[in-house]
Amino acid sequence: MADVARASFYEPVEQELRELEARLRGVARGGHPTFGAAVEHLFSAPGKLLRPTLVFLAARFGTRPDPAVVLNLALSLELVHTASLVHDDIVDRADLRRNMPTVNARWGDDAALIVGDYLFAKAYALAAVLPKPEVIAIVAQTVFALCDGELKEVTMERALPSEEQYLERIELKTASLYAACCQGAALLTEAEPEHVAALGAFGTNLGLAFQITDDILDVVGDESEFGKTVGRDLAEGMPTLPMIYAALEADGYAGELARRITRIGKAEGEVRDLLRVIRESGGPARARERALAFHDLAASALDALPDGRERAALRDLADFVISRVR
């Protein structure tokens, strides 16, 4: 769990996370050797495991928790997440994630595509045996949302989106999965309806805060800490919130900066120059304020939940998500 291994929000669900990590490493058992090698590569250093942590914490608010069933939901959603990243790295032509080569960089695009399919099929096989059809439907709806968000991104016209269009896109591609972890676990364990709603609102706002933070770090981050190549969004002509704000501050939606940001096939020097221009603008700070506002909405959704160590852990997790840019 890398640098966040000692973060306090993991403590209440440490045992569940150990079981999850063991199950993740065993996911390729009986599969093709290349799938086995990719799974070993992906899960030997499994990342922050925020989504399963959310599943395990949210399940504690249920009235009928069944640990084996909750573990299956956590595994299923972590596999959906991993499958989507494997595919996204092909789409983004990314070669670094979690400070390691991506599956496409290591095995090529064709193999990475099939590894992603394989992981997704494993995720759905786990979801299919969940005892509540409404939770199975949530998993499926979340995958639709991820696909809609990603398709919006790849089919986007070469123009700067409005803040609203940007938020709609990140709600689909990121916040939907955070909401599914929290709300799905609450539904699965038969939490009170107002607790299900509170956890859903918490997940959505947390996901929005997370993605805006990620997009800020793609502009201002330190590459070794971030674990991904900085400036990737700009290189791909993918406008994010700090860039939108920087362009609005400079010369508006249809201005010169907006045109430079959304241009594809930029030379390396142009990416570096644009990074400097955006870093020196008020864009990152304004985006940071927006991330903090979503963090605050997430934190206030927790007020509807009973006080205790799980609620405190969810609050700490929300603080962690935005701490990287605070």
Binding site for Mg ion (CB under 5 A): 88, 92
Residue 120's binding partner out of ligand FPP, Mg ion, none, with CB under 5 to 8 Å set by partner kind: ligand FPP
From the CB of 190, what's the least distance to ligand FPP, in Å?
Answer: 27
If binding is defined by CB under 6 A, does position 288 make contact with ligand FPP? no
Q: Which parts of 131-150 interact with ligand FPP (CB under 6 A)?
A: 143, 146-147, 150
Residue 116's binding partner out of ligand FPP, Mg ion, none, with CB under 5 to 8 Å set by partner kind: ligand FPP
From the CB of 215, what's the least distance to Mg ion, in Å?
Answer: 11
From the CB of 305, what's the least distance to ligand FPP, in Å?
Answer: 26
Q: Largest Cα–Cα distance in the chain?
A: 57
Residue 52 or 62 with smaller CB distance to ligand FPP: 52
If binding is defined by CB under 6 A, does position 236 make contact with ligand FPP? no
Residue nearest Mg ion, Cβ-based: 92
If binding is defined by CB under 6 A, does position 322 make contact with ligand FPP? no
From the CB of 63, what's the least distance to ligand FPP, in Å?
Answer: 31
* CA distances, 79 to each of 63, 70, 74, 118, 276 (Å): 26, 14, 9, 10, 36
Residue 46's binding partner out of ligand FPP, Mg ion, none, with CB under 5 to 8 Å set by partner kind: none
Q: Which parts of 42-101 interact with ligand FPP (CB under 6 A)?
A: 80, 83-84, 87-88, 92, 94
